[in-house]
Structure 1
Amino acid sequence: MHKPLTSPALPDVAFDRVPQARALDWVGMEGIALPIRLPDGNGATLRVPASVDVAVDLHAAGARGIHMSRLYLQLQQGLADTLLTGPALRRLLDDCIASQQGLATRARLRLRYDQLLLRTALRSGHAGWKRYPVMLEAVLADGHLQLTLELALEYSSTCPASAALSRQANAERFARMFGASSDVAVADVCAWLESEQGLAATPHAQRSRAEFRLELRPSLDELPLVNLIDALEAALGTPVQTAVKREDEQAFAEANAANLMFCEDAARRLAAVLAAEARILAWQVRVAHLESLHAHDAVASVSGRNDR
């Protein structure tokens, strides 16, 4: 009788001798495609695609490598159906370290994704989805969790200097048109203002971008992303829009006129929001006004700490 065939033991070179043995700061994988769960800003959750980086230190100098497949499985189990919170990320990183069975003492996770928020138009009642690029980094070392959030948002900036020069040009044209008359009818002035001749100059404006790097308190039960975006956009007053009808475009023009700002003004407005945010330990802001007057950009940055 023939003996049944058995599968040979699979080779494992992980335990081979390590030339030039030394510990390594980080070893892991980058660009893993995984779904994550996020709040949608309206009390529900969304499952969105993310690009995930995971790494642990190789603390054992004589070990050839880490157990990467175990890290991958931990991410599969820990991200797909769990909302991102400080405690949840701590548990996941603890599990990543434990999966290495003594090879690692710390772990790092980076998630890159787009936060989608449904934004209502300024006047028409229409709505559209707006994208906010986000990077969330969680590092667990010596029992201490550090959470860092990077995000960006876009807004419109109208130059105060250009607005002042435009107002002067408009006033001079008005004086030339009506200065010789002692009795000017309001209807005539309104008709002139609505004509092409009634606008001698317009201030320059441009799409602008604000980028944030925020160190969050690690005990957060919920990431403050949606509320934070709302507060930052409200401080600027001119976030870019999604669905736009003519009445919305007019409202946007009015918002720009009411929120004239240099890049320095924008940076200070945003800094005031972050300095008052108890859930943030430290923050950095960089704003860039992508000039329509110049071929170069106007930029400003500011930073601070709230852990006093």
Structure 2
Amino acid sequence: MPDVAGDTATSARALDWVGMERIALPLRLPTPDGAGMQVAASVDIGVDLARPEARGIHMSRLYLRLQDALAVEAMTPAGLRRTLQDCIDSQDGLSTQARLALRYDHLLRRDALASGHSGWKAYPVEIDARLGAERLSLTLAFSVDYSSTCPASAALSRQANADHFATEFASARPLSTGVVRDWIASEHGLAATPHAQRSRAMVSVVLRPSFDELPVTDLIDAVEAVLGTPVQTAVKRADEQAFARRNAENLMFAEDAARRVATVLAEDARIERYELSVTHFESLHAHDAVARVAGEGVN
């Protein structure tokens, strides 16, 4: 059968990347029990076309190699290196480097805060792996949703509640702990509440290639822990109350959230560089509050 891709190019020029985007493929993720978990992924694959006179690459070879590699072997840095090298080798000297982008939802089971229930939560993840000149480069990106309660709004609410208390009990009637407690617990005991909103931390890290596993779950856990108020799955009344307490303990502007996350990333030995942005989808304003920061990991 004819193969015109082997013809000589009419305008000879090397190309940086040639390949395919948004390929629907199964991806096997590592699990603690070693069995692995298969998820649906959207995949980009590309190689350079290093020979200027060559008209095209062997694109179908890339697809077939990905189809076999990603579904069978659990994703690790070593496995990604082998897959990228196999894609380069499949081009019979046309290519010297390869790039692979994987997008999927990372599912984690999360315990409720108080009730003993649990539920699944999906975290969007993207992994960008590049191999060239025998060097593997890995970039991991993910996002975490959380709740943010405004410190300024909390302070104003406390003042409003204090003023309301002073007005209600201005008379010289006898006070006791029980009377004050009952009043606070009643509908009359709350004059104002601070505004809170769903928020999002978007993290991108360049990983050092000296580790055996991709720390997806570890980094998600670390970011959620330092923020203190990740969105929940299964929620009963006891969980909702516990969540309200957490919000009161973790009042934060966008600047506060960005600094918290940056501190965790900067102290992780697996991270070479990081970039992050946090967005508070404001419930008070018609616009969002955003903070961004980038830096290097610990040496």
The TM-score with structure 2 as length reference comes to 0.97
Alignment of 1:219-238 (within 5 A): 219-238=210-229
Structure 2: distance between partners of 1:36 and 1:219: 23
Distance 1:43 1:162 in 2: 48
In structure 2, do the counterparts of structure 1 residues 267 and 44 end up closer, same or farther at CA, with 3 Å as the change threshold? farther
Instruction: Give the letter aligned to residue 274 of structure 2.
Output: W
- Say whether residues 1:89 and 2:102 are aligned partners: no
5 Å-filtered alignment, 1:254-265, equals: 254-265=245-256
SS of the equivalent of 1:148 reads: strand
Question: 1:44, CA displacement in angstroms?
Answer: 5.3
| Cα offset, 1:250, TM superposition | 0.4
Partner-residue secondary structure (3-state), 1:192? helix
- Residues 48-81 of structure 1 deviation map (CA, whole Å, 9 limit, x = unaligned): 0000000000001111100011111111121112
Are residues 189 and 214 of structure 1, via their aligned partners in 2, closer, same or farther at CA, if it must alter by over 3 Å? same
Q: Tell me how far apart the structure 2 counterparts of residues 264 and 104 of structure 1 sit (CA, whole Å).
A: 45
CA distance in 2, matches of 1:118, 1:81: 24
Q: 2: CA distance between counterparts of 1:299 and 1:188?
A: 43
The residue identity in structure 1 corresponding to 2:250 is: N
| Cα distance in 2 between the residues matched to 1:172 and 1:16 | 83
* Contact residue 205 and residue 271 of structure 2 kept, 8 A: yes
Question: Residue 123 of structure 1 contacts residue 248 of structure 1 at CA under 8 Å; is this kept in 2?
Answer: yes
Map 1:21-100 → 2, pairs under 5 A = 21-40=12-31, 45-100=36-91
Unpaired segments ≥5 residues, structure 1: 1-9
Give 1:176 shift.
1.0
SS at match of 1:14: helix
8 A contact 2:268–2:298 mirrored in 1: no
User: 1:178 and 2:169 equivalent?
Assistant: yes
1:141 pairs, out of 129, 132, 147, with 132
SS of residue paired to 1:22: coil
Aligned-partner Cα distance in 1 for 2:8–2:81: 33
1:76-104 C-alpha deviation (Å, 9 max, x unpaired): 12111212111111111111000000000
Amino acid at match of 2:270: R
- 1:168-225 per-residue CA deviation (whole Å, 9 max, x = no partner) reads 0000111111233363022211111111110000000000000011001113211111
Superposition misfits of 4+ residues, deviation over 3 angstroms: 39-44
Of the three residues 157, 160, 169, the one matched with 1:166 is 157
Greater C-alpha Rg? 1
For residue 80 of structure 1, give the secondary structure of its aligned residue in structure 2: helix
Query: Which one of the candidate residues 106, 112, 133 is aligned to 2:103?
Result: 112
> Does the CA-based 8 Å contact 2:140-2:207 persist in structure 1?
yes
Equivalent position of 1:132 in the other structure: 123
Q: Which residue of 1 aligns with 2:144?
A: 153
Question: Distance in 2 between the 1:307 and 1:190 partners?
Answer: 49
Deviations 1:211-266 (A, max 9, x none): 01100111321111111111110100000000100110000000000000000000
CA RMSD of aligned residues (A): 1.3
2:294 matched residue in structure 1: 303
Equivalents in 2 of 1:15, 1:85: separation in Å? 34
CA change 1:307–1:108 in 2 (3 A) is: farther
Could you tell me which runs of 5 or more consecutive residues in structure 2 were left unpaired when the two chains were aligned: none
Amino acid at match of 1:13: V
The offset of 1:39, in angstroms, is 3.4
User: How far apart in 2 are the matches of 1:36 and 1:181?
Assistant: 71
Matched, 1:292 2:286: no
> Partners in 2 of 1:200 and 1:307 — Cα distance?
47
CA–CA distance in structure 2, aligned partners of residues 118 and 41 of structure 1: 13
Give me the whole-angstrom Cα distance separating, in 1, the residues matched to 2:171 and 2:128: 67
Paired amino acid for 1:119: R
Q: Percent identity?
A: 63
Structure 1 length-normalised TM = 0.94
